[in-house]
């Protein structure tokens, strides 16, 4: 492929060297000006050529606004606040990887494309929440052990290690346990599972908590369960 450059009325076709790939990591919410890397040194393009410059290949790419690229030195730094959860490229993704291209050139015949792969590291900046504070659930006395009942799970915008990783029922003497499956959008499919036979004459209701366990947050989902008489079909 070639790169075209106008010098007066003369059109010069210059060869472009492809293939360099640089990998960088930066945490979301890093302070403005945080240095990510230096393209000149990382791509072994350092020289005494004062005309050497480094520019984003596509200035119209909205991702370039997140970063500051020093044209003369090749230093790459954080240009504005980066919120991993607000990036469309990273929504529902465990790994957030942004791709950008940089052209390295001088006033002569040197042009080289460098591909940047910038991984945005997640931090624990979102508290998971339940859609409701409490729910009343009615269960038949005749329900079999192992029967499960769906409840709404917590939603956590953080991913991977910082997302909701387990639930438990408190107190543990409750006849219910909880199981859940994580969805790609950060929510969970949560179900109460009946572990013991119910006897309405002994106890006709239970009040307990379903807790979601999080790296730093522990939220409580209150549940009040009433036991209905068993219905028999003759």
Beta bridge partners of 75: 38
pLDDT in tens, 46-56: 777 888 899 99
pLDDT in tens, 88-114: 888 767 789 999 999 998 888 788 899
Whether 2-121 and 134-228 share one fold: the answer is yes
Report domain extents, the chain. Answer: 2-121, 134-228
* CA gap 113, 102 in Å, rounded: 6
Confidence category of residue 13, pLDDT binned at 50, 70, 90: very low
The pTM (predicted TM-score) of the whole model is 0.57
CATH class of 2-121: mainly beta
pLDDT at 126 over 70: no
Q: Concatenated DSSP letters for 159-186?
A: -GGGS--EEEEESTTSSEEEEEEE-TTS
Residue 8 CB-half CA count within 13 A: 1
What pLDDT is recorded for position 212?
64
Contacts of residue 119, Cβ cutoff 8 Å, sequence gap at least 6? 23, 24, 25, 26, 95, 96, 97, 98
Select the more confidently predicted residue: 116 or 171. Answer: 116
Here the tokens at position 13 are 């076709």
pLDDT at 44 over 80: yes
Here the tokens at position 40 are 């000149």
What pLDDT is recorded for position 9?
40
Percent of the chain with pLDDT over 90: 29
* CA gap 37, 56 in Å, rounded: 15
pLDDT in tens, 180-213: 777 666 556 788 899 999 888 888 888 877 776 5
CATH topology of domain 134-228: Immunoglobulin-like (2.60.40)
């Amino acid at each position: 492929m070639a790169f075209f450059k106008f010098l007066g009325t003369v059109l010069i076709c210059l060869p472009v060297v492809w293939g360099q790939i640089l990998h960088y990591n930066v945490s979301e919410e890093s302070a403005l000006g945080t240095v990510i890397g230096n393209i000149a040194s990382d791509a072994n393009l350092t020289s005494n050529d004062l005309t050497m410059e480094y520019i984003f290949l596509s200035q119209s790419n909205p991702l370039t606004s997140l970063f500051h690229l020093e044209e003369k030195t090749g230093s790459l730094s954080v240009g504005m606040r980066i919120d991993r959860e607000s990036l469309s490229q990273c929504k529902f993704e465990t790994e957030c990887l942004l791709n950008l291209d940089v052209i390295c050139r001088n006033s002569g015949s040197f042009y080289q494309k460098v591909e940047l792969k910038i991984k945005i590291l997640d931090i624990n900046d979102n508290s998971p929440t339940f859609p409701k504070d409490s729910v009343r659930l009615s269960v038949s006395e005749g329900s079999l052990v192992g029967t499960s009942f769906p409840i709404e799970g917590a939603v956590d915008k953080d991913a991977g290690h910082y997302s909701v990783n387990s639930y438990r029922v408190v107190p543990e003497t409750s006849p219910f346990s909880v199981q859940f499956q994580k969805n790609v959008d950060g929510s969970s499919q949560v179900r109460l599972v009946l572990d013991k036979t119910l006897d309405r004459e002994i106890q006709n209701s239970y009040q307990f908590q379903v807790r979601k366990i999080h790296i730093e947050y522990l939220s409580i989902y209150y549940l009040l369960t009433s036991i209905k008489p068993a219905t028999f079909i003759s």
